[in-house]
Chains A and B, each alone.
Chain A
Amino acid sequence: MLGEQIIKGMAVTARNFFGSYFSKNRLTTVQYPEERLPQKGNTRQFPFLVYDGDDAEKGLRCVACQICEKECPPKCIYIVKSKDKKPDYKGQPQIYPLTFDIDISVCMSCQICVEVCPFESIKMNTEFELSTADRFGDLLLTKEKLAKPNSYYQKIHPADAAESDAVIAAEKAKAEAKAKAAAEAKVKADAEAKAKAAAAAAAAPIAPPPANPPTTT
């Protein structure tokens, strides 16, 4: 019969229409902003900079190596290196970024900066309600706006943050072990040099001044 299939099709429509009153499967609309979906696992929006401790200026992990600036596909990162150095989380003097700007009107949320960062310092934020009235000022995020504490990162991506904390802790432990070994070696070298000098002094009337002891292994 002509039109039979059209009626069958309309039955499908009717099933969906009435089903939408009972089944969540058929009514998928979410009444944003009153109603919100839970955040999905690896959601990413725009990057932010992680800092340890309470002071954003002191604890910033970024060492201005500029790898993210070079790898960024749309080139939305702008970094100026500092002239002086400040201690990083390992206690070693490091360069820090004087300026670190991300233009999020250019950023395409690709996460490449996060992947190439060797210092676990740039991560993806999940905040998406960023609309503003000022096109140039508010969309150019400066270092102050980008810096977020590590606790914030642990809150938004717990699994990834734990991983990154483990990496940082391992690096720190390695650095500490190295420093300890260096200190021990220095003590040993000092003792050796002293003994040598003493031996030399005993052998010759005029002892040469001891050579500079090695400071690192």
Chain B
Amino acid sequence: MNALATPPKNFEVKPKLAANGEELGELLEVSMGPHHPSTHGVFRMDVVLDGEKVVKLKPVFGYLHRNHEKIGENISYLANMPYTDRLDYFCSMTNNWAYALTIEKLAGLVVPERAEYIRAIMAELTRLQNHTCLIGFFVQDMGALGTPMMYAFREREKILDLFEEVSGARMMCNYMRFGGVRVDVNDEWIAKTKKVVADYSKFLDEFGTFLTENEIVLARTQFVGVLPKDLAINASITGPMLRAAGVNYDLRKVDKYGIYSRFNFQVPVGEHGDIYDRYMIRVLEMRESIKILEQALRDIPVGPVMDPKAKLRGFRPKAGEVYGRVEAPKGELGFYVISDGSPNPYRYRVRPPSFINLTILEDMCLGHNISDAVVILGSVDIVLGEVDR
């Protein structure tokens, strides 16, 4: 008999029994996805339902697996840079930064001052557009089809235009290099960015009036999908989800990578760990990002943007192993690289924030309605390019 024809164990539907052993009704197993509009990509949830309540949830992924790590081990260090864009395709700039930071650590390159400022500006712009889009998406999951997402995308496009002007592409920027950035920004670009940043707080005010106190949003999000503090720490959740659970942990403050020690900003921390806190954390983080951007755009010095020691062709870092991490909009994005002195990495591993944040999905969804499960997934902020790699 064909092994594939036998159904997997978790597809068994068991009758629900009352305390006296009497059958009450059947549990229903629903396979949500992989082509489900609200799962943010090709992601499947095997949900067991009792009525409308979730009693079991199994995330199934791998539909977008494309061998990212193995490809990285077989091509040169430089050639892997454009592949990191495709991890989390919303935040290619922070992915580039994390990878460049790791290899710089390995090769001992020093990034010039101006390049560090440009990197911080790019990363914070990425954070702005990622959080804006995320809010648009997850409000759409709650049923507000279209409008908030269109507003979010309208603003995102302004930031993507800035990216395109400098790096040549809207999303797959491929902008950073080991020892600096690929092209310098000009004064005109900085003036444009200043304008976009100045307008952004106005947009956030409008978006806030639109959503923050909306009764439907409150009813759907408050005390739904609560993630307790200790569970979040144990499951190594990072990013806005961890901070929403009440843990003050931000790599920009902890590691102080790049030049983040020079900026004056705060880390918003939540209290309840529910969806509403996760939403609010992102809104407040955007405000802090605007603060960082204002400081960075004011202080950016003139100078070179590449380390003169860095070379493009024949780049061979010395043997050794290194782990580099940055605070990506979704959490801690880390790259672990072992070098044996050859042009390719010997081992290359990605620590994707949204994959690890997704592992906690079942604990947050149990006991909630199926419609809430969709919103909870939306608030985790996953990108399947990064989950599956």
Cβ of B76: which chain A residues have Cβ within 8 Å of it? 70-71
Known: A6-B215, A6-B216, A73-B75. A40 touches B165 (CB 8 A): yes
Q: How many Å from the CB of A138 to the closest CB on chain B?
A: 23
Q: How many Å from the CB of A75 to the closest CB on chain B?
A: 8
Task: State in angstroms the CA–CA spacing of A9 and B217 once bound together.
Answer: 11
A71 touches B78 (CB 8 A): yes
Interface residue ranges of B56-101 to A (CB < 8 Å): 75-76, 78-83
Q: How many Å from the CB of A209 to the closest CB on chain B?
A: 46
Known: A8-B209, A13-B147, A71-B78. A118 touches B214 (CB 8 A): no
**Does A212 sit within 8 A of B, measured CB to CB?**
no
Cβ of B151: which chain A residues have Cβ within 8 Å of it? 16
**For A5, A13, A72, which residue has the most chain B Cβ atoms within 10 angstroms?**
A5
Known: A2-B215, A28-B157. A71 touches B209 (CB 8 A): no
**Does B298 sit within 8 A of A, measured CB to CB?**
no
Grouping DSSP codes into helix (H, G, I), strand (E, B) and loop, the B interface class, with mixed when no group exceeds half, is helix
Cβ of B206: which chain A residues have Cβ within 8 Å of it? 12, 15
Bitwise, B350-387 to A at CB < 8 A (1) or not (0) is: 00000000000000000000000000000000000000
B209 touches A9 (CB 8 A): yes
**Does B129 sit within 8 A of A, measured CB to CB?**
no
B209 touches A73 (CB 8 A): no
**Does A64 sit within 8 A of B, measured CB to CB?**
no
Q: How many Å from the CB of A202 to the closest CB on chain B?
A: 55
Which A residues lie at the B interface, using CB under 8 A? 2-3, 5-6, 8-9, 12-13, 15-16, 26, 28, 40-44, 67, 70-73, 108-112, 115-116, 118, 124
Other A-B contacts than A6-B214, A40-B161, A40-B164, 17 sampled, CB-CB below 8 A, are A8-B209, A8-B213, A9-B209, A9-B210, A16-B151, A41-B165, A42-B164, A44-B168, A44-B169, A73-B79, A73-B83, A111-B174, A112-B79, A112-B82, A116-B78, A116-B312, A124-B168
